[in-house]
Structure 1
Amino acid sequence: MVSLEPSLPKPFGKYTLLRSLGYGGTAEIFLARGPQQTEPLVIKRLLPELSEEPQFLAMLVSEAKVAALLDHPALVRIHELGKEDGQVYMAMEYVPGWDLRALAKVVRGRVPFGVAARIGLALAEALHHAHRRTDLEGRPLHLVHRDVTPSNVMVTAGGEVKLIDFGVAKASTQITFTQPGFVKGKYRFLSPEQIEQKRLDGRSDLFSLGVTLYEVTTGVEPFDREQIVDILKAILRFDPEPPSTLVAGFPPALEAVLMHSLTKDRDQRYPDAQAMANALRQALPHIGGPGDVGAWVRQLAAAHPDRLPPCEEEELGTEMVDFPEGEDPSSQERCAELMIVNLPDAVEREPDHVEPWADWLAEPLSLRVAEPLPEPPAPLRRPSAMGRNTPAAMAMPPSLGASRAPAWTHAAPSLVAVETASSRRPRRRVASWQVAVGLTLLAGAVAAGTVLVLQYLLAAAGR
C-alpha cells in the first residue's frame, strides 16, 4: 500500500509509526507502537491542511470525547487525542484481526450459522451500549452508528468481535451530497428511514445489522438489483426473500431474527438492540454447526494465508499498553476523560459548545420520496459482493450528458428536492473555514472512490 509517509518505521512524538494501514482525503492510519510498549496501537493522523483549522480541531475534540464515553468490549477504544509536529492525531486500540467482509468473501458468503449468530449477538450488545449512552451530565447522546456493514466489523483469532468507526454523533443520515450531481453512501445497508431522511434512532442500526447477517450467511444481497436506484426502491418497498429459500437447512430460529430486523416499519422491528441480542441468544441452542468464532477464524486464516495475511500481534508482543500516571483505559473514569495533549486550550470545549457548526459540517441536502415508487425489477439472485469494490462513479447515461443542467433543476416527479437539515432551524452564516473544510472533505471523498452520480439516481427514480 502506498503511504503518504515515505519512510517507515519512523518516530512520531512518543510513538513509532510502523506501517501505513490506509489513507483517504482527511487522514492516514498507521500501525504504531508507544514508548516502552510492545502491544501495537493505531494512530489516525489528520492531513496537515486540516490540522491547522482551529474549528476543525474543536470538532475533533468533541467527537473524540463522545467516542471515549463508549466503554464496551465490542467497541474500539480511543486512548488519546493530541498534536505532534503540527498534525493532529488520535491513538486508538488496535484490533489484530480481519474484517467480516474479508472473512465472508473467503467462504463465498457462507459464514457458519452459529458463528454468524454469535457475531451478531456481540454487535447487538455493543449497539445497545452505544444507543443508551448519556453524557457526563446524564443527557442522552442519541448515538446511531449509521454504517453497520461487514467491513466495519473486526473479528480476531481469539474470537473477539469489534464494531469500528463508532463514536461520532452525526447530525444527518448516511446518504449525503458531496458536490452537485454526486451522492455517496453504502446504499445496500441503508435502512428505509435513512433513505427517506427521517430522524434516526437505534432501530436503523438493527436494520443494517440484519442486512449484514443476511449477506454473510446466504452469500446474497437481500435487496439485490442491477441499478442503485432499484436497490433503494427495493429497500423501501419490498421484503427480502426468506434465507431458507436461498440456503438449504437455514435455521428457522435465525431466519426469524433476521426477517424481524428487516421489517420496513421500524415500529415493527425489535424495540432496541438489547431485544435483538436477546432474540439471538435464545436462537443459539436451535442453531447447529460450528459456533466457536475464534476456532473458525483461526482455521480459515490457516487455510487461506494469501487472502487473510497474518496480523502483527505476535511480531510486536502482547503486553498491555502503559498509560501515563497509571490511568487505566478500561475504567469508566478513564473513558470519560479522554487524554488530550498538546492542543490549544481554545479547542477543548464541551460538545454542546461546538454543536452548531459541527451540525453544519455533517448535514447534507436530502431527498424525500413524494410519490409511490415504481416496482423495481425482480431480484437477480447473484452472489453477494462480499468485498467487491463499489465503482468510483457510475457511468452517466447519454441522456444526462455534461451539457444538461443538474437533474434536480428539472424537478423529477417522484422526488422532492432540495431540503437541508438546517432548513428546520434558523439560518446561519457559512464561514470561509467551513467552505474550505467542506471542499477538503469533498476532495477526499472523490479520491477515495466513494461518490455516485446523483443525476443518474434522480433520472432513474423518475421513470
Structure 2
Amino acid sequence: HRPVRRLSAGGIAEVFVTPPARDDGGTEMIAIKRIRPHLRGVAEACELFTHEATLLGALAHPGIVRALDVSAAAREGWFTLELVHGRGLVEVVRRAERVGVRMPLRHAIGIVAATAEALEHAHVQPGPDRKPLEVVHCDVSPANLMLAYDGSVKLVDFGAAQSRLRRANSRALPNAGTLAYMSPEQSRGEAVDRRSDVYALGVLLWELATWSRLYRRLGPEQIIARVAVGAVPLPSQLRADIPSELEDVIMIAVQPTRERRFANAGELARALRRLSGAEDRRGLDAWLRRVFH
C-alpha cells in the first residue's frame, strides 16, 4: 500500500489514505493505519496496536469503522480500514460555531444513540472462542466520531480500548482516553467496564445538547477534581428549552457512581430512541451540507 495523504496521527499510530492493493481488485481509496516507525520495536506499543486490529477484525457493526485486512498488524505493523467519507465531529462542531449554525437536538440525540448502539455491539460481541470480548472503548469523544455525508455515524480508533484479551491500568496510559470524557473510575486508574463508556456518552450528549464544553478552560488536575465529585451541572442551566426527559437521561448517564448509571449502552440507546422516535435518523446529511456549504 502506498500512502497518499495523512488523515490523522496519534501517540502510537498514524492513519493515511491509500489506494487498495493491486490484488484486491477494488478501485476506491481506503485507509491504512500504521504504527509509528520509532515504536515498531517497543513491545507495549506493538501490543496495543495488535490488540486494536484484533478487536476491529472481530467487530462488525454499521456504527463502527470497518476493518478490511488485519492480517499484517502483528507482523508488519499495519492494517487497512474503510475510508469514511465525511467529517470528524470535532471539525463539525467547530465549523458550526464559526458559521453560526447550531446542531438541532434531534441530531445530537441521534448521534449519541447511534454511538451507543455501536458500543453495545462492542461490549457483547463474542471473540473466536465464542465468549464476549467485553470491549470497553475507553476513549469515546468527539475526536473519535465521524459523521458520514450519508448521515451515518462511525466510531473509530480502538487504540485505547480494553477487553478480555487485554486489561490495563488506565493511569498507566496517560494518553489513553480524552480526559474530559473519562468516567470518575477511569480518571482514578481503576478497573473500567461498559458503564465507563456510558459516562462518556453522557458527557458527549451534554455538550451537543447545550452547545457548550463541559470543562472549558480547565486544566487536567481541575478536570479530574470535577469528574471525581460528579460536578456536572444540569443542562437546563445552560439551555432552558431542553426537555426534562432528555435532561433526566443525560444526568443518569453521568452519575459519578457507575451503579447509578444506565447498566449498558443499549439501555441508554433505547432511552434516547424513545425520546426521539425516528426523527433523529433524518436530515443529518442535509444539516452537514448546510454547515459545510
Residue 271 of structure 1 and its aligned partner are, at CA, apart by 0.8
Over 3 Å counting, the alpha-carbon distance change for 1:57 and 1:166 in structure 2 is closer
User: Does the residue aligned with 1:130 lie in a helix, a strand or coil?
Assistant: helix
Tell me if structure 2 keeps the 8 A contact 1:192–1:236. Answer: yes
Which runs of no fewer than 5 residues in structure 1 stay unpaired?
1-11, 303-463
Secondary structure of the corresponding residue to residue 3 of structure 2: strand
Q: Are the structure 2 counterparts of residues 275 and 26 from structure 1 closer, same or farther at C-alpha, using a change threshold of 3 Å?
A: closer
Report what 1:206 is aligned to: 198
In 1, are the aligned partners of 2:170 and 2:191 still within 8 Å (CA)? no
Instruction: Give the aligned partner of residue 70 of structure 1.
Output: 59
Counterparts of 1:60 and 1:229 in 2: how far apart (Å)? 28
Give 1 or 2: higher helix fraction: 2
2:244 matched to 1:242? no
Contact 1:124 1:273 in 2 (8 A): yes
Q: Which residue of 1 aligns with 2:154?
A: 162
Instruction: Look up the match of 2:284.
Output: 293
Aligned to 1:424: none
Are the structure 2 counterparts of residues 56 and 172 from structure 1 closer, same or farther at C-alpha, using a change threshold of 3 Å? closer
Q: TM-score, normalised by structure 2?
A: 0.85
- The superposition leaves residues 135-188 of structure 1 with CA deviations (integer Å, 9 ceiling, x where unpaired) of 11122322100101011110011001000012743523544466xxxx775211
Residues in 2 aligned to 1:229 and 1:274: alpha-carbon distance in whole angstroms:
32
**1:5-35, CA deviations, whole angstroms, 9 ceiling, x for partnerless residues?**
xxxxxxx3xxx42222233554332101113
Shift of 1:193: 0.9
Structure 2 residue corresponding to 1:230, chosen from 206, 217, 222: 222
Q: CA deviation at 1:117?
A: 0.6
Counterpart of 1:381 in structure 2 is none
Higher relative contact order (CA 8 A, sep 6+): 1
Does the 8 Å contact 2:140/2:177 carry over to 1? no
Structure 1 residues 25 and 200: alpha-carbon distance in aligned structure 2, compared to 1, 3 A threshold: closer
Partners of 1:228 and 1:51 in 2: CA distance: 30
Count of residues in correspondence between the two structures: 282
CA RMSD of aligned residues (A): 2.9
Instruction: Spell out, residue by residue over 1:277-323, the C-alpha distance to the aligned partner (whole angstroms, 9 max, x if none).
Output: 11000110598x99521111122121xxxxxxxxxxxxxxxxxxxxx
The one-letter code sitting in structure 1 at the alignment partner of 2:288 is: V
2:146–2:156: 8 Å Cα contact kept in structure 1?
yes
Q: How high is the sequence identity, in percent, across the aligned residues?
A: 32
The one-letter code matched in structure 2 to 1:79 is L
- Please tell me the residue identity of whatever aligns with 1:300: V
On the 8 A contact 2:124/2:132 being kept in 1, the answer is yes
Match of 2:27 in 1: 38
Counterpart residue number, 1:402: none
Q: CA deviation at 1:247?
A: 1.2
* 1:119 counterpart letter in structure 2: I
Q: TM-score, normalised by structure 1?
A: 0.55
